[in-house]
C-alpha cells in the first residue's frame, strides 16, 4: 500500500482536515494519506512574509514526520505541499529521498494538458507571487493570466455558498476575457469547489488539491535525488528534528 504525506504549511487545523478529506478521496482507498500541520507560522498564507515563514514550517513539518516514522507509520512514497504557492518546494525536493510537489506545480502540469490556462484564487497579494512561481517552475508560457478575488482562501472557505457564486463568475470572466482552455481554482481552502462550479463554466475547472493528489499517484515515475532524507547544512537555532537531519557542527 502506498503512503502519501501532505504538509499543510499553515497552522490551521481546518485546512489540514480539508486537505486530508479531499486528497484521500482523490487518491482512493489503496493510498494511505496522512496530513501534517505546521507547528508555527500563519493560520493562512496570504502575503510574502507568511509565505517565507511557511517554507521553513514545511521543512520543519517534514523533518518531524521523518523523526517519527516507524513500522506503523512508514516513510511516504511522495510528499505534497498543501498550499497553492508551494512554499519550500525546491528546498524540500533537494532534501527528500521521495518525489515532492505542491498544489500549484501539480495544477500547472494538469492545466497545461488542455492548452492555455488561467488561475482563479483568493487573496489579492497572490497575483505577483503566483506569476513568479509559474516563471520559476517553467510554466509561465501557458499561463494566460491570474485573477484574484478580494476574499482570502480562508474567508472563501468560511462561506462556501457565497464563495461558489463568486468563484463561478470569476472563472467565467477569465474564460471570456482570456480565451483559455482551462481554469485552475487554486487554494487548499477551495478544495471541492471546482466540482461545485464546473457546470457553470465552459472549460475544465481544475481543483488544485485533486491535481496534487493525482500527481502523487504518478510520482513513482520520478526518480529520487538522494537515498536518505537529509539537509546539506549544519543548522543553528532550528527545531531538534531539523537539526537531526542536518550536518554535524563544523561539517
Closest by alpha carbon to 119, among 48, 167, 189?
167
- Domain identity same for 95 and 113: no
CATH code of residue 18: 3.40.50.12500
Range of the domain at 97: 2-102+214-244
Asked if residue 39 is part of any domain, the answer here is yes
- Domain identity same for 73 and 111: no
Which pLDDT belongs to residue 24? 97
Q: Which residues does the chain have with pLDDT short of 50?
A: 251
- Domain identity same for 67 and 135: no
The grid coordinates listed for 146 are 491570474
Alpha-carbon span 146 to 59, nearest angstrom: 28
pTM, rounded to two decimals: 0.95
Q: The sheet that has 182-186: what strands, in order across it?
A: 143-149, 117-122, 182-186, 205-207
- Domain identity same for 26 and 83: yes
- Domain identity same for 31 and 118: no
- Domain identity same for 177 and 151: yes
- Domain identity same for 110 and 194: yes
Kindly report, residue by residue over 7-33, the tens digit of the pLDDT: 999 999 999 999 999 999 999 999 999
Amino acid at each position: 500500500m502506498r503512503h502519501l504525506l501532505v504538509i499543510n504549511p499553515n497552522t490551521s487545523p481546518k485546512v489540514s482536515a480539508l486537505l486530508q478529506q479531499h486528497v484521500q478521496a482523490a487518491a482512493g482507498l489503496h493510498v494511505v494519506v496522512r496530513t501534517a500541520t505546521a507547528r508555527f507560522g500563519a493560520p493562512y498564507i496570504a502575503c510574502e512574509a507568511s509565505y517565507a515563514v511557511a517554507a521553513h514550517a514545511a521543512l520543519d513539518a517534514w523533518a518531524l514526520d521523518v523523526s517519527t516514522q516507524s513500522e506503523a507509520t512508514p516513510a511516504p512514497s511522495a510528499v505534497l505541499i498543501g498550499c497553492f504557492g508551494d512554499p519550500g518546494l525546491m528546498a524540500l525536493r533537494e532534501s527528500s529521498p521521495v518525489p515532492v510537489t505542491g498544489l500549484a506545480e501539480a495544477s500547472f502540469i494538469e492545466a497545461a494538458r488542455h492548452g492555455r490556462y488561467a488561475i482563479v484564487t483568493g487573496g489579492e497579494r497572490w497575483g505577483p507571487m503566483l506569476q513568479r512561481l509559474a516563471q520559476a517552475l517553467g510554466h509561465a508560457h501557458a499561463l494566460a493570466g491570474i485573477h484574484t478575488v478580494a476574499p482570502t482562501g480562508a474567508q472563501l472557505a468560511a462561506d462556501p455558498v457565497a464563495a461558489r457564486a463568486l468563484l463561478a463568475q470569476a472563472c467565467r470572466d477569465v474564460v471570456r476575457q482570456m480565451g483559455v482552455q482551462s481554469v485552475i481554482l487554486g487554494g487548499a481552502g477551495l478544495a471541492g469547489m471546482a466540482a461545485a462550479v464546473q457546470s457553470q463554466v465552459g472549460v475544465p475547472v481544475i481543483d488544485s488539491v485533486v491535481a496534487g493528489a493525482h500527481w502523487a499517484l504518478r510520482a513513482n515515475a520520478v526518480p529520487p535525488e538522494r537515498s536518505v532524507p537529509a539537509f546539506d547544512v549544519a543548522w543553528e537555532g532550528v527545531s531538534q528534528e531539523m537539526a537531526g537531519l542536518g550536518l554535524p557542527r563544523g561539517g
